[in-house]
Structure 1
Amino acid sequence: MWFFSIGTDMGIDLGTATVLVYLKDKGVVLKEPSVVAVDKNKNQVLAVGEEARQMIGRTPGNIVAVRPLRDGVISDYDITEKMLKYFIKKGCGKRRISAPNVMVCIPSQATEVEKRAVINATKNSGAKNVYLIEEPLAAAIGAGLDISEPNGSMVVDIGGGTTDVAVISLGGVVVRDSLKIAGDKFDEAIIKHIRNKYKLMIGERTAEDLKISIGSAYGGLRNYVMPVKGRNLITGLPDTIEVNSEEIRNALEEPVSLIAETVHAVLEKTPPELSADIMESGILLTGGGGLLFGLDKYIEKITGVKVKVAEDSVECVVKGTGKSLKHLNKIEFNSDKEVKLIE
């Protein structure tokens, strides 16, 4: 049975790979893949989240499992809206929240058009007011950093679609950069390597399993071998090969190096006083992509600054969003209700 609770606030990490929902005073209540299964003939949503992810690559012709967000932004507005409605309802459980205030995370370099698309989709999903917060700012808050102090903190948030790098001080972002290379590009690099070397086609789920199980960004840290099943491109038949950790490291070298170069470039633009703070406190790595084994060591090698992976790395952004919700009266917004300063 549903009942109404007016004024409940909600934080959403609308990620390319995963959507997380935070309810004020309850914490993270939902964490599911950003996937929707759609019947093309009937234009009907059949499944959302984990149930839809299980259908990827395994559906008949009239059913497609789609990811409505790509590279950190909305690529299919209608499907995103339906997905948001489903997650908001599921996140509430047995409680029916009427017109909640919702804060949504966005990439640090999101355009005005992309921001407006997020606001409109969230409002059409039942939100009363929609607020935006940059992902690295939310990640810093969620990781427990005191961003209100006049000290420099550097956060590298690597999600599914984007990597956001930011230097934060006095509650605001001083230097920022964002690139559309993250966890998805890691998977694509692995798929490409397996296809080119072994003439074997594998899917996104298999690539992700390889990345997590034996993958590494830094040489010499892992030495595993894993059997991989796929379709032989020459014979067209199912086939099995064995892949080792060093191969995966080589496959990931290009996207990993581009992320490290971006971190290096942001450090070069950072004011000297804040650079000194970062040298002392180090770089904080957040997001699911930041869990790639050895990535902290690789960035440390390139920048010369110690790197630490945050606890509950995947949930840092949505937890920071949730903490911000508790202080809406202390937050300064611009005309688009985007967080500018947290006191």
Structure 2
Amino acid sequence: MSACILGLKRTRLIQHKHSSWRTISTLLRPYRFHIGASWAGKPRDPRVKRVKSVFPPDSIILKWKDEQLARLHKFTWNKDPGEDFFYVQEMREQSGISFGVADGVGGWADSGVDPSLFSQALMFHAHRYSQHGWAGEPEIDPTQEYEEREQVEGWEMTPQECLGLSYDAVLRERSVLAGSSTACLINLNASSGVLRSASLGDSGFSIIRSSQVFYRQQPQTHFFNCPKQLTKLPSGSRRYSNSAVDQPDDAEVYETRLRDGDIVVVYTDGLSDNVFPSEIISICALVARQMEGQKSDDEQAQTMANQIVEYAKLCMHNKQRVSPFERAAAREEMYFRGGKIDDVTVIVALVREAA
């Protein structure tokens, strides 16, 4: 899946061979973002109780989820994201793009709760809110008449504000009885190139610049293997009184200006627990070298996402290789060997700046 952000106001949509759409305008924004998304649900463990449920047939969340997977499946080899989910959404007036991942936290099966419903609902509402918000301050076209400029609608939507609104919406969702999820939301501003993020738990992101890690979001945990998480507790139940219940305000926020050629990789912990940052850099560099001058930036971003997920799948089943999770466990004086089997979701954004 790919998306290219170009235009300003009074734009029109046109079809593009390698993307769902792109926007054109007489006034171009200087930044383009080429997006790829890939995912893979973990194989079922017969020793673990599994609860699989879906939203009611008339649910708009179910319809959106199915449309997302059906539309994007042709770009990736995997069908089921497991307890993870994601969104990619163009923001108001093509001012930027918003995307994110959520990882439904396991452990609810004993209560008959499917953890995937929480993460799906959270990402649905993040998509819903971000499409109506501006990536920065609402933009005024100085060539317009004063009355037209006064009619500019909408508001600036930060990732943390989007996360808060989305969480409140999940709390109101009758179809989501309980659950919890980590999350990482990103906004990219097509006018300024500014990235803003809000991350809670061990879903995170890295910025790769000139084949080095320019920034890497550190996980937030209560203790080892217990990430901070947004939670909805079952109504009237005292059983989960000691559960981790964090708030959107606990999310760590970050802001920086991106450059041409930067690569933003957003992921759930199925990636960070199994693949080292240096390996992610190597995969992206290899794809860029192999496809340079032959494939579009859209295709490069999607191939990077696919290859990263496929490599994570190989690593999580390899018990002969030291993993990031094994090293983290050793620091806590715990024994764990090899990769950690989990759902993995990755979104890659390749940044291009007009000369």
TM-score (norm 1): 0.32
Q: Which has the higher helix share?
A: 1
Q: Greater relative contact order: 1 or 2 (C-alpha under 8 angstroms, separation 6 or more)?
A: 2
TM-score (norm 2): 0.32
